[in-house]
Structure 1
Amino acid sequence: MVGWQVLREENKLKTTKDSRSLNSLIHPSDSLHGCLTCRRISQRYFRVVAGVSVLSAPGQHSQTRFVHSLKTHKSFDEATMNNDVALVRLSSPLHFNDHVQPICSVENVTHEFTLNLSHCFITGWGSTSYNGEKAASLQEAEVEIIDTQICNLIDWYDGLITENMICAGLQSGSADSCQGDSGGPLQCYSEDEQRFYLVGVTSFGDECGRPQRPGVYARTSRFTAWLRKTQAGSLSAAHRPATLTLSCTV
Structure 2
Amino acid sequence: MMHALHRFLLLHLLMYLGLYALGSEIINGRKVPENLMLYMASVQNNGGHVCGGFLINEHFVVTAAHCERLNPTSVVLGTHNLQKVDNNTMRYRVKTCKFPSYVNVSKGDDIMLLKLSRKARLGKKVQPIPLPNTEIKVKDQSKCRVAGWGLTRTGGKVVDGLKVVVVPIVNLEDCKKKWGHIRCNLPANVICAGGYGTDKGFCQGDSGGPLVCSGKAVGVVSFNMKKNCDYPNVPNVYTNISKYLPWIKKILKQHNCIFVNLQTPQEERQVSCLAGIMHPLHTFLLFPLLAYLGRSADGSEIINGERAPENSMLYMASVQDSKGHLCGGFLISEDFVLTAAHCDDVITHVVLGTHDLKSVNDDNKISIKEKHKHKSYENVGSGNDIMLLKLSKKVSLNERVQTIPLPTSEMNTQDGCQVAGWGYIKTGGPAVDDLRVVNVSIINLEVCKEQWSHLGNLPANIICAGGYDTEKGFCQGDSGGPLVCNGKAVGVVSFNKGANCSYPNVPNVYTDVSKYLPWINDILKRYK
TM range (shorter): 0.7 to 0.9
Q: CA deviation at 1:162?
A: 3.5
In structure 2, how many angstroms separate the alpha carbons of the residues matched to 1:145 and 1:161?
Answer: 16
Q: How many residues align?
A: 214
Counterpart for residue 251 of structure 2: none
Q: 2:433 aligns with which of 136, 139, 155?
A: 136
Shift in Å, 1:157: 4.3
> What's the CA shift for 1:47?
1.1
* Unmatched runs of 5 consecutive residues or more in structure 1: 190-195, 234-239, 242-250
The 8 Å contact of residues 334 and 396 in structure 2, kept in 1 or not, is answered as yes
Alignment correspondent of 1:8: 319
Q: 1:47 aligns with which of 349, 354, 358?
A: 349
Aligned to 1:199: 490
Against the structure 1 CA distance between its residues 79 and 224, is the aligned structure 2 distance closer, same or farther, given a 3 Å change threshold? closer
Contact in 2 for aligned 1:82/1:162 (Cα 8 Å) = yes
- 1:43-122 maps to which residues of 2 (within 5 A)? 46-58=348-360, 63-78=364-379, 80-109=381-410, 112-113=411-412, 117-122=414-419
Which structure is higher in RCO with an 8 Å CA cutoff and minimum separation 6? 1
SS in 2 for 1:3: coil
SS at match of 1:223: helix
AA aligned to 1:182 is: S
Q: Could you tell me whether the CA contact under 8 Å between 1:148 and 1:161 is conserved in 2?
A: no
Q: Which one has the bigger helix percentage?
A: 2
Moved over 3 A (4+): 155-159
The letter of the residue matching 1:156 is W
Contact 2:332/2:406 (<8 A) preserved: yes
RMSD: 2.0
Instruction: Please show how residues 205-220 of structure 1 align to structure 2 within 5 Å.
Output: 205-206=496-497, 207-220=500-513
Q: Percent of aligned positions with the same letter in both sequences? A: 27
Per-residue deviation, residues 15-48 of structure 1 (Å, max 9, x unmatched):
3xx752111110000010111111x22x5xx111
Change (3 A) 1:103 1:142: same
User: 1:156 maps to what in 2?
Assistant: 452
Q: Which runs of 5+ in 2 are unaligned?
A: 1-309
1:80 partner SS: helix
Identify the residue that residue 83 of structure 2 maps to in structure 1. Answer: none
Retained in 1: the 8 A contact 2:491–2:512? yes
Range moving further from structure 2, 76-85 or 175-184: 76-85
Distance, in Å, in 1 between the alignment partners of 2:382 and 2:477 is: 16
Question: Which residue identity does 1:104 align to in structure 2?
Answer: P
In structure 2, C-alpha distance between the alignment counterparts of 1:230 and 1:150, rounded to whole Å: 34
Report if aligned partners of 2:472, 2:503 keep a CA contact under 8 Å in 1: no
Does the 8 Å CA contact 2:414/2:442 hold for their aligned counterparts? no
| Rg (Cα) greater in structure | 2
Change (3 A) 1:161 1:122: same
TM, length-normalised to structure 2: 0.39
In the superposition, the TM-score normalised over structure 1's length comes to 0.79
Query: Deviations along 1:46-100, whole A, 9 cap, x unmatched?
Result: 111101111112379x632100100101111316140000010000011111221
